[in-house]
């Protein structure tokens, strides 16, 4: 009973967030953060594509298997990081007054993006282990490295 009386008196002394406009300010700040996270994700993908194309161009000129794998890993790393930013943007977007529909969509998106990120990370790890085993200078199509030959059009 005493607690109820204290709460009622405190509610008259302390204004609600709606009355002060704090809720609107938080909502606007979150929208800007969502936009920033989405922009960063797009920039990361763009940078990853550019760096991968530069590496791939060098690889095609030199015909070295190791360079091809490194260029694939470069793009995979940037995609994985961009997925993290996209997921963060989705979480922020539903943090402010979410509906059940938004929560359901977030759950589905989170599962899909987490699965993509998991498999990207797994592939990155496998490729890093493979490139550590393959000696530097392994030529595409070399008889000593059949996997490299199989990757080449018309290979094994």
One pLDDT digit (tens) per residue for the chain, 156 residues: 677 777 777 666 776 666 677 788 888 999 999 999 999 999 999 999 999 999 888 888 887 666 778 888 889 899 999 999 999 998 898 887 678 888 888 888 889 988 888 988 888 888 878 766 554 544 444 444 444 444 444 444
Task: For 113-132, give the DSSP string.
Answer: HHHHHHHHHHHHHHHHHHHH
64: left (phi over 0), alpha (psi -120 to 50) or beta: beta
Q: Tokens 């969502």: give the residue.
A: 34
Domain residue ranges in the chain: 36-136
Instruction: Give the number of other CB atoms < 10 A from CB of residue 76.
Output: 18
CA distance 75 to 54: 11
pLDDT at 1: 66
pLDDT at 58: 87
């Amino acid at each position: 009973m005493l607690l109820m009386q204290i709460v009622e008196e405190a509610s008259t002394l302390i204004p609600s967030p709606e009355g002060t406009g704090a809720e609107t300010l938080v909502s606007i700040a979150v929208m800007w953060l969502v936009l920033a996270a989405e922009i960063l994700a797009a920039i990361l993908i763009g940078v990853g594509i550019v760096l991968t194309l530069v590496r791939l161009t060098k690889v095609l000129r030199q015909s070295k298997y190791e360079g091809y794998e490194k260029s694939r890993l470069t793009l995979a790393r940037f995609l994985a990081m961009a997925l993290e930013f996209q997921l963060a943007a989705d979480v922020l977007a539903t943090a402010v007054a979410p509906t059940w529909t938004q929560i359901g969509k977030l759950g589905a998106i989170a599962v899909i993006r987490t699965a993509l990120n998991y498999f990207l990370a797994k592939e990155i790890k496998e490729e890093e282990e493979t490139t550590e085993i393959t000696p530097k200078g392994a030529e595409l199509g070399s008889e000593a490295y059949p996997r490299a030959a199989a990757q080449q059009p018309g290979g094994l």
